[in-house]
Structures are given as C-alpha cells and as structure tokens.
Structure 1
Amino acid sequence: MKKKLLAMLVGTSLVLAACGGGGDETAEPTEPADTTGGAGETTTANAEEIYQQSCIGCHGQDLSGGVGPDLRAVGSKYSQEEIEGIIDQGKGIMQGGIIKGEEATAVAEWLAAKK
C-alpha cells in the first residue's frame, strides 16, 4: 500500500512539474524568443517551434497526448478561437497563459488546421 501511495505521489509530482507550475516572481523577466521569421508576424513553422518549446511535455512531440489530450485532430473539435481561448484560460489541469499574444494565435491557427 505504501509503495502504491509513493508511486502515485511521485507520478503526480512529475505531471505537475512537466506542465509548468507558475513562474518564479523574483526572477528577472526574459525576452521572448523571436518567432517572427524576421517579417514581424509569427509563421506556421514558428508555431511548431513554439509548440515544441512549450507544449510537448504534456501533449507529446507528435501531438499524440500523454498527460494532456491528443491534439492530432483538435481542429475537428475546436475552432481557432476556441483553441486560443483554451491556451489563454487553460482547461482541466492545463494552466492558462503558457504562451501569449501572437504566439498563442499562431499556435491556435496551426492546431485548428489539424483535422
């Protein structure tokens, strides 16, 4: 029984650590990565890069899920606006605001095309 409880606690800790968990408010703010492709707007290729940097811990490298849901056909379930709302507000165990602004819009657009 103790081993099961310990395994559950360790597993829960890993899940929470992988999905973020709030920033260190005393840390210096960092400049966001330039994902504009040099033209002032975020591109689809950059949306994939943003996903790789911020989302694969829960949704998997190939969008197949893990801790978070499978996103391979998320565009057939949600519109771009709905996906952007989920990115902004969070859903289930996903905290909101992991990515913001134009980056969130680009990732939402990229995911909405996954049907």
Structure 2
Amino acid sequence: MPSFDQPDLARAIEGLPVQALDDLPFGAIRLDAEGVVRVYSGAERRLSGSGERPRLGLEFFREVAPCMDTPRYRGRIEKALAGGTLDLEFGWTGDFADAERSLRVRVQSAVGGGCWIFMRREGTVANS
C-alpha cells in the first residue's frame, strides 16, 4: 500500500484499483480540472465521518467542502496549478466527524488534469 509520505503518492494511487483506495489509512479524493469530484474513497468517508452522502459528480469546493473554499486552501491549489506544478502539503483543522481534528493535507497533480487531495487525520488540535 502507498504511504502518505511518499513523494510520488498520486502516481502510486493511480496505479491501484479504485476499490483499493477504501482500505488506505488516509483519505483520497480526485478532482477533475473543473474541481468536480471523480473519486471519493471509502477511507475518506469513514475517516472524515461524512458517511454515505453523495460526493461523485459534485463540485468539491462549493458542494462538498465549502469550508475549504478559501485563499488558504483553494487559493493555494489554484496558484500552484497556474504555476504548472501541484505538489503541496499543509495542515488543516476540522472535518465532518470532529471540527477540532488536525489533518495533514497533500495535493498532487492527477494524470490527465485535475488533482488528488489526500488527508491524514492526526488527532485533535488540543492534543497536538
């Protein structure tokens, strides 16, 4: 299984069957070039606490995670895409299950356009 910390995580993930993403110890979401969710792993559903809500075909920043439609999150992704490279890592706080949870977020370019968003939960902010 791919490691969250490996440099070429997006390429490793793209080499797996989509069903294998459900068993990862971190969440994986693939957006197309327009920001529409094309893959939303079972691991992300389980770890985030988002459950079985519809995700595929929805605009990620408007319909799935509007809290991330900010210069700090979406703005960084768009700036990196405009620069031709997309390989970001940063911290984020909060998800569906726990608004105080600390997350490590990695965003890397996807083959054919768009990007992968990987999220690893690390505990609560108070315990970090």
TM-score by length of 2: 0.27
Q: Which structure is larger by alpha-carbon Rg, 1 or 2? A: 1
More helix by share: 1
